[in-house]
Structure 1
Amino acid sequence: MAFAQRSVSAGASPSSDPIKVMVVDDAVVIRGLLTRWLGEDKGLKVVGSHRNGKLAVEDIEKSNPDVVVLDIEMPEMDGMTALPLMLAKKRDLVVIMASTLTRRNAEISLKALSLGAADYVPKPESNSEVTTSIDFRRELIEKVKALGARAIRMRGPARTMRAETRAGKSSQPVKPVSARPTTDTRASFRGAAQPAAAAAPKFQTRPYSSVRPRILAIGSSTGGPQALQDVMKEVGTAMNDVPVVITQHMPPTFTSILAEHMGKAALRPAKEGEDGEVLKPGTIYVAPGGKHMILEKDAGAVKVRLTDDPPVNFCKPAVDPLFDSVAKAYGSAVLSVILTGMGHDGADGVKTIASGGGSVITQDEATSVVWGMPGAAAQTGVCCEILPLNQIGPKIARVLKGNTR
């Protein structure tokens, strides 16, 4: 399928040079295991391995990694202390936080995203579980490769511009680079501050439904927590008359905290979905980690159903089951959105929504951390618009009020 090919190419390195990785973890067994896993992949090269944040910070300039896998709890200097110091030394550094599934670590991981970390990967509770977890290994390597490749691609134009300036081809003065990462720097990696690419490929689109939406459904993955927060801030009171259902690829514990963040961003009630509860307008429902969330019509009401079915697209929760059920329950009165994420989860779901007459918005490539899920959705040809992140929230607000222009 074309969209599957696109999602793979989006995470591939644009050159033959491997992505350089540093591993920082105080547990010698874990550190050695991650180093071995990453080193076995031909597209990756481990350039540093350290037991605490202090040693890692001191080695950033010498080893010059593209990606750092950073533990949270370490002696002498923990991950949250090291994070800003690393980014100060290398602004385009990709930092992936690694933490076990405790509420405290989940909160810290989500906070790290707001401070400049690119993503997180949850570690199993024990060393033995880490050693035998195929899913953990797969997720770690996928994220390192996808995020590292994107950082390298983004670095290319900047290098060209600097080279032209040194050669005297540009008369524009070069602004000094601050040593401390700023909000703009973090937004630049997520793409939120970037305009849509001028040479972006053209995709087939279709008109919005003429029916005013009665539900907003959103799917997201890598880069999603920050993107969701940006969108929810903009939608705000426009969701007063409709429920909002969200599937973000996240493990248990993380999703409950994500729901809290969504509520604060939108200033609306937000919670994990509970089996059997009736959807209420103005409330945000987040699919709980480890369960698929679907909707079901029952005696005139629409209820949440949680299922323990196998993973879909390697994900649980997954977007496709939610979107399929939303289309069945609401027909042409659906507004759906696909935000940044790896893979192609949601692509089949948006086709189901479109076939029922509903509307689809997807995030553009320039503003996506990883253009896997939104790229796959765009290539289906059923989206109404493909928009940069900073335009999605305002557009949702207008569509929910009946204005599709």
Structure 2
Amino acid sequence: MRIARVMVVDDSAVIRRLISDTLSEHPQIEIVASAANGQLALDALETTVVDVIVLDIEMPVLDGVNTVRALRRSGRRIPVIMFSTLTERGARITFDALAAGATDYVTKPAHSNSIEESRNNVRINLIPRVLALTGVAPWAEPGNSAGVSRSAATQVAAAVVVPDEVEQPAQVHPALPVPATEPLLASPTQPASLRPSTPPALSEAAAPSSPAPRPGQSPRSTPATTRPAPPSSVLPSAVAPARPAERTFPPVALRPGVPSASAVADSGTRANQNAVPKRASAAGGARIKLLVIGTSTGGPEALNQVLPLLPASFPVPILIVQHMPPIFTQLLAERLDRVCKLTVRESAGGELLVPGSVYIAPGDLHMEIDVTGPNAYTKLGGGAPENFCRPAVDVLFRSAARAFGSGVLGVVLTGMGSDGRRGAGEIRAAGGQVIAQDQASSVVWGMPGAVAGDGLAEELLDVHVIADAILRRISPIASSHSVTSPVNATQPVAVRRSNT
């Protein structure tokens, strides 16, 4: 039986013990070391074999972000899971850690006075990640990670426990090689040698205007949110100085009478989901009118490898589900917006889908498509989680298949679990297309692996070529699309007020 060897790093002895005891309940997890700060953790790595590190963010001597940087500078590729607070400050620091090379994160329960609640958070959210990132389990659904309990005290006593005393930080050798991987959401000024080659642009038309982020309100208290139409100047030059002048485009027309494929998910059998129609060739198939993307663990970096390579003239709307809590999805949208030619926003609900618009589902809300006449709008709701997730990829994919039929291109990127498998089946049953990230370039090959295992992925691709594959499947219609037509640049994007 394979064992995942874990190091726990937190300046709180109580938190270290809580994490260690709870992880140790699983028969395939062993706590081999614990440390009170990043420097002590780096010292322990010199003598201890570790498969994954659970790392706090704010610690004395050497904090979590700088610990990750030191790890990556030393050439160590050990997976690192950040233990973050569910606050804006915690979210921003977590993104800094991901940019420095952290693998994933788990949020601490907010305002929890219950030890058992904190333990459940570790069981539900941390144990599956430890198992998946160490390869002990290919992937695990959140909430299905419980194993046979064993004596936590026995295991912790046998572990290497680094003392709490503060030591002087050791010097990190700058001459050691830096890993060749690109940083998360890299700056547009990053040297060309460190960025992937850009696929051919469809044209030089400008990106569409998009509604601004929500002005100081959260949709968490209601199932859906609405807002008035924003002014046309929604992108200050300080946010994206290199972006072309903003324009708006006509709404995307829906194909009349698109078929519903809900029976695929409702069938409850993988055999039925495998019975999907073969696709037509990319050049001769149905015209793609909507791109939907689903991802989870490793998703921020995967999205950074795909979205910045899409041109400002991208001719269809893009909707994204990334498994993240509130606040985190807003920050993800902001960071992607800074490096993309397209305008990326966290959805507030009710936005009109226009070519080149990019909306990310907000944390804790499902995102669907609401169709009225010839137009389509985003729709947010607080329905029950699917696949233990809200937002869920299956919800978005299912809605996209019903609204756009064969005009949907679904992309499933790295992620833990199987969210997106049923939705991908609905897209294929409606005549749409599905591609997925390959195992070699995925942080966790759970979601794309589930899609591939059911025979739903038409291509399995390295993340660095997925943008090119998207353009290849959409480009045959680019020349006849109206994205280069003159438009009134002062016209605001329409926003529905009746989002329910």
| 1:72 maps to which of 57, 76, 89 | 57
1:181 aligns with 2:256: no
Change (3 A) 1:101 1:232: same
Contact 2:22/2:122 (8 A) holds in 1: no
Change (3 A) 1:151 1:237: farther
Contact 2:57/2:83 (8 A) holds in 1: yes
Deviations 1:287-312 (A, max 9, x none): 00011111110132111111111110
The match for 1:232 is: 307
Identity over aligned pairs, percent: 42
The match for 2:262 is: none
Contact 2:79/2:133 (8 A) holds in 1: yes
Matched residue SS, 2:16: helix
Q: Which amino acid aligns with 1:45?
A: E
Deviation at 1:60, TM superposition (A): 1.2
The match for 2:489 is: none
The match for 1:54 is: 39
**C-alpha separation between the residues in 1 aligned to 2:129 and 2:326?**
19
Matched residue SS, 1:382: coil
Change (3 A) 1:41 1:185: farther
Deviation at 1:183, TM superposition (A): 2.9
Structure showing the higher helix proportion among its residues = 1
The match for 1:8 is: none
Deviation at 1:88, TM superposition (A): 4.1
Contact 2:72/2:179 (8 A) holds in 1: no
Change (3 A) 1:347 1:336: same
| 1:217 maps to which of 257, 269, 292 | 292
The match for 1:30 is: 15
Deviation at 1:90, TM superposition (A): 5.7
The match for 1:137 is: 123
The match for 2:485 is: none
Return 84-93 or 342-351, whichever deviates more. 84-93
The match for 1:146 is: 132
Contact 1:332/1:359 (8 A) holds in 2: yes
Larger Rg: 2
| 2:425 maps to which of 322, 327, 351 | 351
1:42 aligns with 2:27: yes
Residue ranges of structure 2 left out of the alignment (5+ in a row): 139-174, 185-194, 197-273, 479-500
Residue ranges of structure 1 left out of the alignment (5+ in a row): 1-15, 153-177, 194-202
CA RMSD of aligned residues (A): 2.5
TM-score relative to the length of structure 1? 0.81
The match for 1:274 is: 348
| 2:329 maps to which of 250, 255, 258 | 255
The match for 2:416 is: 342
Contact 1:278/1:302 (8 A) holds in 2: yes
**C-alpha separation between the residues in 1 aligned to 2:280 and 2:114?**
49
Contact 1:94/1:151 (8 A) holds in 2: no
Q: Which amino acid aligns with 2:131?
A: K
1:242 aligns with 2:242: no
Change (3 A) 1:138 1:151: closer
1:94 aligns with 2:168: no
Change (3 A) 1:53 1:392: same
**Count of aligned pairs between the two proteins:** 350
Change (3 A) 1:129 1:310: farther
Contact 2:290/2:409 (8 A) holds in 1: yes
1:376 aligns with 2:450: yes
Change (3 A) 1:306 1:22: same
**C-alpha separation between the residues in 2 aligned to 1:275 and 1:331?**
22
**C-alpha separation between the residues in 2 aligned to 1:401 and 1:370?**
30
Change (3 A) 1:215 1:185: closer
Contact 1:66/1:151 (8 A) holds in 2: no
